[in-house]
Structure 1
Amino acid sequence: MQAFVFLDLDDTLFQSRAKCPAEGELYPAAFLRDGSAHSFMTAKQRALWRLLETNMTVIPTTARDWEAYRRVDLRFRSWSILDYGGVIIDASGHPDEDWLESMRAATCTAVSGLKQALEMACDFAATRGLSVRVRLIEDFGLTFYLVAKYQNGREPDLDFLQREVLEPWVEARDGAYRLHRNGNNLAVLPRTLGKERAVRHLIGHLRREHGNILTFGLGDSEIDGAFMAECDYLLTPRTSQLFERTFGKSVT
Structure 2
Amino acid sequence: MLAYHTSRLFVFTDLDDTLFKSLKSDVSIVATTNNEGESQGYSSLQQQKLLNVFEAAGGVFIPVTGRRTNSFLNCSLPVIKNTPYAVVSHGAIILDQNHTLLEQWHEFIKVEFNLALWESELVKMFDHVHNHFTALSDAVRVRLIVDQGITAYVCVKVSKGDYSENKAKDVDLYLKSILPNDMLLHSNGRNFAMLPPYARKEVAVKFIKNKLQIGENDTVFSIGDSISDLPFMKEADFLIVPDGSQIFDRE
User: 1:86–1:144: 8 Å Cα contact kept in structure 2?
Assistant: yes
Contact 2:168/2:189, CA 8 A, preserved across alignment: no
Q: Is the 8 A contact 1:216 1:231 kept in 2?
A: yes
Structure 2 residue 94 is the aligned partner of structure 1 residue 88: yes
1:162 maps to which residue?
172
Q: Which of 131, 139, 146 does residue 154 from structure 2 map onto?
A: 146
CA contact (8 A) 2:92 2:198 kept: no
Structure 1 residue 145, shift from structure 2 partner: 0.9
CA gap 1:137/1:14 in 2 versus in 1, 3 angstroms: same
**Range with bigger deviation, 219-228 or 145-154:** 145-154
1:132 corresponds, among 117, 140, 151, to: 140
User: 1:207 aligns to what SS in structure 2?
Assistant: coil
> Number of paired residues?
237
1:48-95 alpha-carbon deviations (Å, 9 max, x no partner)? 222233321111111112111111111123221122222222234343
Partner of 2:53: 51
Structure 1 stretch displaced more, 232-241 or 4-13 = 232-241
Identical counterparts, % of pairs = 30
Q: CA deviation at 1:3?
A: 0.5
Equivalent in the alignment of 1:36? 38
Structure 2 SS opposite 1:45? helix
2:84 is matched with 78
Say if 2:145 and 2:151, in contact at 8 Å, map to a contact too.
Answer: yes
CA distance in 1, matches of 2:116, 2:243: 38
**In structure 2, do the counterparts of structure 1 residues 211 and 139 end up closer, same or farther at CA, with 3 Å as the change threshold?**
same
1:215 aligned residue:
220
TM-score norm. by structure 2 comes to 0.85
User: Does 2:125 match 1:117?
Assistant: yes
Q: Mark the runs of 5 or more structure 1 residues left unpaired by the alignment.
A: 248-252
Q: Quote the offset at 1:34 in angstroms.
A: 1.3
Measured in 2, the distance between the counterparts of 1:49 and 1:62 equals 17
SS in 1 for 2:209: helix
Distance 2:204 2:163 in 1: 32
Any conservation in 2 of the 1:207–1:213 contact (CA below 8 Å)? no
CA, structure 1 residues 92+142, in 2 after alignment: closer, same or farther (shift >3 Å)? Answer: closer
Cα distance change of structure 1 residues 93 and 117 upon mapping to structure 2, 3 Å threshold? closer
Q: 1:214 Cα deviation (Å)?
A: 0.6
User: Equivalents in 2 of 1:59, 1:12: separation in Å?
Assistant: 14
CA distance in 2, matches of 1:185, 1:27: 26
Partners of 1:24 and 1:43 within 8 A in 2: no
2-side partners of 1:88 and 1:61: how far apart?
A: 9
- From 91, 96, 105, the equivalent of 1:99 is 105
Matched, 1:235 2:206: no
**Residue pair 2:30, 2:43 contacting (<8 A) in 1 also:** yes
Alignment TM-score, normalising by the size of structure 1: 0.85
Q: Which residues of structure 2 form unaligned runs of 5+? A: 1-6
Query: How far has the Cα of 1:24 moved from its partner?
Result: 5.0
For the aligned residue pairs, the C-alpha RMSD in angstroms reads 2.1
CA contact (8 A) 1:9 1:60 kept: yes
Q: Tell me, in whole angstroms, the C-alpha distance in 1 between the residues paired with 2:99 and 2:226.
A: 26
Residue 185 of structure 1 is matched in structure 2 by 191
Contact 2:91–2:198 (Cα < 8 Å) also in 1? no
Could you tell me which amino acid in structure 2 is paired with residue 125 of structure 1?
F
Following TM superposition, the consecutive aligned residue runs of length 4 or more in structure 1 with deviations greater than 4 angstroms are: none
